Amino acid sequence: MPLPFGSEREGNCRVGRPSWLRRWRLRDFSSEILPVTRPRLTKAFGGREFHGYAESMFFKRRRRRQLRAQPLPGEWRSIISRNVPFFDRLPPEDQRELLGHVQVFLAEKNFEGCGGLQLTDEIRVTIATQACLLLLHRRTDYYPRLVTILVYPSGFTVEEKRHLEGHIWSEGREGRLGETGRQMGSMVLAWDAAKSGPTDPSDGKNLVLHEFAHQLDFEDFAADGVPALGSHSDKLSWAGVMKMEFAALRAADETGIPTLLDTYGATNPAEFFAVATEAFFERPRALRRQHPRLYNELERFFRQDPALYSSELAPRR
């Protein structure tokens, strides 16, 4: 695969254009655009590596600005209206921002059809629109740990080794609709579930939002249900609320009490965050009513209030 323009190797002139030109461009950029951070970064990365890093960031941001400004292919807009109903309820400025994110996402992520699935624009655009809902109103690097999205026609099976107790493990095949991991660099999705997720916006289930919430969780290099938060007080508040809500869901799961949140979230804190994200966007009014503190934490993190545009019709558990 060709190296992206401005990558570190290219900046070190092993490939590409004459070295004197590239060095000039790098020096010019790093002194003008990042005058404050340059000395610290130069010390941290070593001079030449920093130049490569800075140039890479500069061109990446410029390329993304250009992608966001491109006109959207006409067919994409009708795919979104047809398959992702929440889009038409968003405020116009959010729709514009989301469409820009979709352009960047589709330009940067690889999609592969698996199990005989032929990839189409409908598949790519439907998945990208849902994924990019989680990016609205925030600085984002577009799920930087994710490179490839593998799409199967429907559920798939994986070899699973599960710890039972002590030295006892069980092995077998397990059915899945989606999967991603901190060090996988990929995500696997079942197309039928990815497509049906947003069509009933009040069932509280959305495979794509679930799996991409995991990717947000990974951005701080851990899979612990704590995404990259802002201030120390944000982290303290998040920890207190999530600990309480997670314990409540576990207790409800053990006693069989019906819950708004899918009890799969009782598996561990990472799954709890993913399940809570599904509920936040799919059943926001019910979540705000029944779990106001959880709703507030998610509203602050996602910088969105989905209760404003939710299509929930009536209270239900």
Instruction: Name which of 99 and 274 has its Cβ closer to Zn ion.
Output: 274
Pairing of the two strands 186-190 and 178-180: antiparallel
How many residues touch Zn ion (CB under 5 A)?
A: 2
Helix-, strand-, coil-residue percentages of the chain, each rounded to 5:
55, 10, 35
Q: In this chain, which of 133, 146, 151, 274 binds Zn ion, going by CB under 5 A?
A: 274
Instruction: Name which of 196 and 267 has its Cβ closer to Zn ion.
Output: 267
Task: Return the biggest CA–CA distance within the chain.
Answer: 70
Task: State yes or no: residue 286 binds Zn ion (CB under 5 A).
Answer: no
For residue 254, give the amino acid letter. E
Task: State yes or no: residue 190 binds Zn ion (CB under 5 A).
Answer: no
Q: C-alpha 195: how far from its chain's center? A: 17
* Angstrom distances, CA of residue 70 to CA of 48, 98, 105, 130, 240: 33, 13, 13, 20, 43
Instruction: Name which of 30 and 215 has its Cβ closer to Zn ion.
Output: 215
Task: State yes or no: residue 241 binds Zn ion (CB under 5 A).
Answer: no
Burial letters 274-296, b for 16+ CB under 10 A, else e = bbbbbbbbbbbbbbbebbeebbe
Closest chain position to Zn ion (CB): 274
- Containing 167, the helix (H) or strand (E) segment is none
Task: State yes or no: residue 276 binds Zn ion (CB under 5 A).
Answer: no
Task: State yes or no: residue 131 binds Zn ion (CB under 5 A).
Answer: no
Please, what is the minimum distance in Å from the beta carbon of residue 77 to Zn ion?
Answer: 30
Please, what is the minimum distance in Å from the beta carbon of residue 271 to Zn ion?
Answer: 5
CA 273 – CA 267 distance, rounded (Å):
11
Please, what is the minimum distance in Å from the beta carbon of residue 63 to Zn ion?
Answer: 31
Instruction: Name which of 132 and 274 has its Cβ closer to Zn ion.
Output: 274
Please, what is the minimum distance in Å from the beta carbon of residue 267 to Zn ion?
Answer: 8
Residues 254-273 that bind Zn ion (CB under 5 A): 271
Task: State yes or no: residue 213 binds Zn ion (CB under 5 A).
Answer: no
Q: What one-character-per-residue DSSP string does 66-116 give?
A: HHHHSPPPHHHHHHHHHH-THHHHS-HHHHHHHHHHHHHHHHHSEEEE-TT
Q: C-alpha 129: how far from its chain's center? A: 11
Instruction: Name which of 11 and 198 has its Cβ closer to Zn ion.
Output: 198
Please, what is the minimum distance in Å from the beta carbon of residue 210 to Zn ion?
Answer: 6
Task: State yes or no: residue 209 binds Zn ion (CB under 5 A).
Answer: no
- Containing 216, the helix (H) or strand (E) segment is helix 207-218
Q: Exposure of 183 by Cβ count < 10 A (0-12 exposed, 13-18 middle, 19+ buried)?
A: exposed
Instruction: Name which of 264 and 309 has its Cβ closer to Zn ion.
Output: 264
Please, what is the minimum distance in Å from the beta carbon of residue 211 to Zn ion?
Answer: 7
Which of 162, 244, 180 lies closest to 218 in space, CA to CA?
A: 180
Please, what is the minimum distance in Å from the beta carbon of residue 266 to Zn ion?
Answer: 12
Task: State yes or no: residue 189 binds Zn ion (CB under 5 A).
Answer: no
Residues 152-171 that bind Zn ion (CB under 5 A): none
Residues 88-127 that bind Zn ion (CB under 5 A): none
Instruction: Name which of 196 and 237 has its Cβ closer to Zn ion.
Output: 196
Instruction: Name which of 48 and 182 has its Cβ closer to Zn ion.
Output: 182
Q: C-alpha 310: how far from its chain's center? A: 20
Binding site for Zn ion (CB under 5 A): 271, 274
